[in-house]
Structure 1
Amino acid sequence: MDDPLFFNPTLHSNLASSFASIHKACITTAPYTIATFLPPLDDTRLVNWWEDRLKEAADGRRKIIIQMAPNTTTGKPELAGYVMLLMPVTETGPFRGTVEKLLVSPEHRRKGIAKRVMMRLEEIAREEKRTLLLLDTETGSPAEVIYPKLGYIEVGKIPDYGISPLDGSLKAGTFFYKNLLSSDKKT
């Protein structure tokens, strides 16, 4: 598998429907990720949402890291997973970044893609002088286990934080951070 790529609007803008497809699959396939939308999902709405994110990447407000992998049937390269770094404009926290939408296609899970794209995201965050990374995930989700393995520190949990796409129940959210300057000193 090739290294994760930094999303290039010129080369990758044709991937909007692939981003949306993975997003949809993660919401509708066990373990039913809480990720912005609830079923029933409208493909056009998802693609439009991703087109807006891709515009933010083209404007430099957001960085997207993608992992391509061979399709399990055809062997042709396809989008297998991704993660985004939101870089909010703030004078009081120009060093902060928010990790968003770490999603891996169900067909490509358990291949180390989440770790690979997160490592690349951290490289890009350093280049962008974003040294304090923040993120949240559903409490009890597989992602909650991944982040501490990558050096993220749990801050706490908020009950009833998000609506489950599986049954509409309220689920707790777990919040994490990672100080890249501190983790650089440990390596």
Structure 2
Amino acid sequence: MNEEIVVEIIDKLNLEELEQLSELLITVVHDGASIGFLPPIDEEDAKKYLYSVIEPTNLLLVAKIKNEIVGSVQLQLATKPNATHRSEVAKLMTHPKHRRKGIGLLLMNKAEELAREQNRSLMILDTREGDPSNLLYTSLNYTEAGRIPMYAKSANGELDTTVYYYKCLL
């Protein structure tokens, strides 16, 4: 039986959402996700970060199954006068027990829809070389713009290459 996945925008965190997002962030970081954090990350640091992301220029999208947050992504709207046509995708996360259900795809499609609604014609993002997310982004017609070696540190101390992608929404 397929579970219905609902994608929502969160503009104000309630306690339950904060708890669920905190657990998601901690779980994916401890699972090896390259999203700006290194393990161990504790609940206090996760919550502090999550409170900081709720702002008008950073749209937080979540995917829910049976009212449980199982994934999220952020759409960051550039605000500099010469960049108001641009947005950046950040921190795409899917809970490990819910991977391979199309959650990342749904979140990315919704992020693109919101970018268009915000009159954004260019989306950019980056991800660690070799991660499954590379396949998702190329399947969504993102174009590789380049690679930067030794960009981000992994939990094991190694420095990993980051791949930058873009997509024109025109």
Please indicate, yes or no, whether the TM-score normalized by the shorter chain is above 0.5: yes
Select 1:97's aligned residue among 82, 87, 90. 87
Select 1:146's aligned residue among 112, 133, 136. 136
Provide the residue aligned with 1:172 in structure 2: 161
- Whether the 8 Å contact between 2:9 and 2:62 is mirrored in structure 1 is yes
SS in 1 for 2:79: coil
More deviation, 172-181/19-28? 19-28
Alignment of 1:53-68 (within 5 A): 53-54=53-54, 56=55, 60-68=56-64
Provide the residue aligned with 2:74 in structure 1: 84
Once the two structures are superposed, residues 148-169 of structure 1 have per-residue CA deviations (whole angstroms, 9 ceiling, x without a partner) of 001111111110010012x111
Query: Partners in 2 of 1:2 and 1:145 — Cα distance?
Result: 21
Provide the residue aligned with 1:107 in structure 2: 97
Q: Which of structure 1's runs of 4+ aligned residues deviate more than 3 A?
A: none
Select 2:7's aligned residue among 4, 7, 13. 4
Unaligned 5+ runs, structure 2: none
Following superposition, the deviation at residue 25 of structure 1 comes to 1.1
Percent identity of equivalent pairs: 30
- Whether the 8 Å contact between 1:65 and 1:84 is mirrored in structure 2 is yes
| Distance of aligned partners of 1:40 and 1:3 in 2 relative to their CA distance in 1, 3 Å threshold | closer
Q: Write 1 or 2 for the structure with the bigger share of strand.
A: 2
Following superposition, the deviation at residue 2 of structure 1 comes to 4.0
Q: Write 1 or 2 for the structure with the bigger share of helix.
A: 1
Query: Partners in 2 of 1:147 and 1:118 — Cα distance?
Result: 9
- Whether the 8 Å contact between 1:23 and 1:35 is mirrored in structure 2 is no
Once the two structures are superposed, residues 89-119 of structure 1 have per-residue CA deviations (whole angstroms, 9 ceiling, x without a partner) of 1111110001001100111111000000110
- Whether the 8 Å contact between 2:152 and 2:160 is mirrored in structure 1 is yes
Once the two structures are superposed, residues 60-95 of structure 1 have per-residue CA deviations (whole angstroms, 9 ceiling, x without a partner) of 11111111013xxxxxx2001011101121111110
- Whether the 8 Å contact between 1:20 and 1:50 is mirrored in structure 2 is yes
Name the aligned partner's letter for residue 18 of structure 2. A
- Whether the 8 Å contact between 2:129 and 2:161 is mirrored in structure 1 is yes
RMSD value over aligned CA atoms? 1.2
Following superposition, the deviation at residue 28 of structure 1 comes to 1.1
Name the aligned partner's letter for residue 177 of structure 1. Y
Query: Partners in 1 of 2:162 and 2:127 — Cα distance?
Result: 6
Query: Partners in 2 of 1:13 and 1:132 — Cα distance?
Result: 31
Unaligned 5+ runs, structure 1: 71-76, 182-187
- TM-score, normalization: structure 2? 0.93
Provide the residue aligned with 1:46 in structure 2: 46
